[in-house]
């Protein structure tokens, strides 16, 4: 977890308040039957705890080569109405590998709508393979919000 930055004096005050709120929340759970999750949530709100940001890690040269080897080539709807994303990978290595790709579906602002996964089995050096992946989290009506895709990572085994 990440806590909002404050000055040292204010931080001491926040800790003191947090300890007091924690004690109150603990008492409240005994008296009112309030759930521990609700008390923890109230405590996090009071001390300004935020969701951690996903750090943008700069890929190494080898990771970049693998990421560049994968791309979304088309989207389509199958006969039962499932939205399919075709992901293509060309093995940039000198050995046969299994690959696992993680791809983000992004909206017009570049915000993540869903993360998709594709598995490529027994791909030989220089071989180009296309695999299907499906949306699982997005409602059908929300799929039109997808404007682009970004390959986050590709792992070779």
- The predicted-structure confidence for 99-139, as pLDDT tens digits, reads as follows 999 999 999 999 999 899 999 999 999 999 999 998 877 77
Burial of 76 (0-12, 13-18, 19+ CB in 10 A): exposed
In angstroms, rounded to a whole number, what is the distance separating the alpha carbons of residues 61 and 108? 29
- The predicted-structure confidence for 2-37, as pLDDT tens digits, reads as follows 333 333 444 433 333 333 444 444 444 444 454 555
Tokens encoding 28: 């409240």
In angstroms, rounded to a whole number, what is the distance separating the alpha carbons of residues 101 and 156? 9
Q: How confident is the model at residue 54 (pLDDT cuts 50, 70, 90)?
A: low
φ and ψ of 27, to 5 deg: -60, -40
Q: Read off the pTM.
A: 0.60
């Amino acid at each position: 977890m990440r806590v909002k930055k404050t000055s040292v004096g204010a931080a001491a005050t926040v800790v003191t308040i947090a300890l007091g709120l924690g004690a109150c929340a603990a008492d409240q759970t005994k008296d009112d039957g309030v759930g521990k999750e609700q008390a923890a949530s109230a405590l996090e709100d009071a001390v300004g705890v935020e969701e951690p940001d996903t750090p943008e890690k700069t890929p190494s040269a080898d990771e970049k080569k693998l990421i560049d080897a994968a791309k979304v080539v088309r989207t389509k709807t199958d006969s039962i109405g499932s939205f399919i994303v075709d992901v293509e990978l060309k093995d940039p290595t000198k050995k046969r590998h299994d690959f696992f790709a993680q791809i983000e579906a992004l909206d017009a602002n570049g915000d993540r709508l869903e993360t998709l996964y594709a598995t490529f089995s027994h791909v030989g050096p220089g071989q180009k393979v296309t695999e299907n992946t499906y949306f699982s989290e997005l409602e059908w009506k929300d799929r039109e919000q997808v404007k682009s895709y970004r390959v986050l990572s590709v792992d070779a085994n």
